[in-house]
Amino acid sequence: MKKRGLLLFILAFSVVALLSVYLLLGFYYTDSFSYGTWINQVYCTGKTASEANEELKSHAFFNGMVIKGAEGQSLFIDSSTIDYSVDYQDELQKMIDNQNPIAWGANLFKSRDREIVGRTSFDEEKLSDILKSWSIFDTEAKDLYELKKNDEGYYLVENVEKTANFDKFYENVKEALYNKQYSLDLSAEEFYDSATATEKDKKLKSLFDKIEKTQNIKASVKIGESEFSAEPSSVSDWMVTLDDLNKAQDEEKTEDNPGKGLFLAGNKIIEFPEKYKVEENFITDESGNILLSCSKIYSFIEKNLKYLDTNNCINRFQKDGKGLIYVSGNKNGKLYDVDREFESFVESVIGEGPETTEVSLPGKSFVIEGTELGKEYILVDMGNQHLRYYKNGKVNIEYDIVTGNVGLGRGTPVGLFHIYNKRYHTILRGADYASYVNYWLGVNKGIGIHDATWRSQFGGEIYKHSGSHGCINSPLELMAKLYETVEVGVPVLLYY
What does the pLDDT read at residue 37?
Answer: 86
Asked if pLDDT for residue 188 goes beyond 60, the answer is yes
What does the pLDDT read at residue 138?
Answer: 83
Angle (deg, nearest 10), helices 294-306 and 338-349: 120
> What percentage of the chain reaches a pLDDT higher than 70?
94
Q: At 323, is the pLDDT very low, low, confident or very high (cuts 50, 70, 90)?
A: very high
| Model pLDDT for residues 229-262, shown as the tens digit of each residue | 999 999 999 999 999 999 999 999 888 999 999 9
What does the pLDDT read at residue 139?
Answer: 75
* C-alpha span between 329 and 362 (Å, rounded): 6
Q: How far is CA 323 from CA 254, 318, 374, 393, in A?
A: 35, 9, 12, 15
Output 277 or 102, whichever has higher pLDDT.
Answer: 277
What does the pLDDT read at residue 112?
Answer: 65
Asked if pLDDT for residue 16 goes beyond 70, the answer is no
For residue 417, give the H/E element and its range. strand 415-418
53-69 average pLDDT score = 90
- Strand pairing report for 433-444 and 421-430: antiparallel
Q: At 109, is the pLDDT very low, low, confident or very high (cuts 50, 70, 90)?
A: low
- How many whole angstroms from its chain centre is CA 468? 59
Contact between residue 260 and residue 251 where contact means Cβ atoms under 8 Å apart: yes
Q: At 9, is the pLDDT very low, low, confident or very high (cuts 50, 70, 90)?
A: low
Q: How far is CA 30 from CA 95, 113, 205, 206, in A?
A: 11, 19, 77, 80
What angle is formed at CA 344 by the lines to CA 339 and CA 348, rounded to 5 degrees? 145
483-488 average pLDDT score = 98
**Mean confidence (pLDDT) of the chain:** 91
* C-alpha span between 59 and 402 (Å, rounded): 112
What does the pLDDT read at residue 436?
Answer: 96
What does the pLDDT read at residue 431?
Answer: 79
What does the pLDDT read at residue 253?
Answer: 86
Domains and CATH numbers, the chain: 207-367 (no CATH), 374-496 (2.40.440.10)
326-353 average pLDDT score = 93
Residues 6+ apart with CB under 8 A from 130: 75, 77, 81, 82
pTM comes to 0.71
Handedness of CA 473, 479, 480, 483 (dihedral sign): negative
| Model pLDDT for residues 402-423, shown as the tens digit of each residue | 999 999 999 999 999 999 999 9
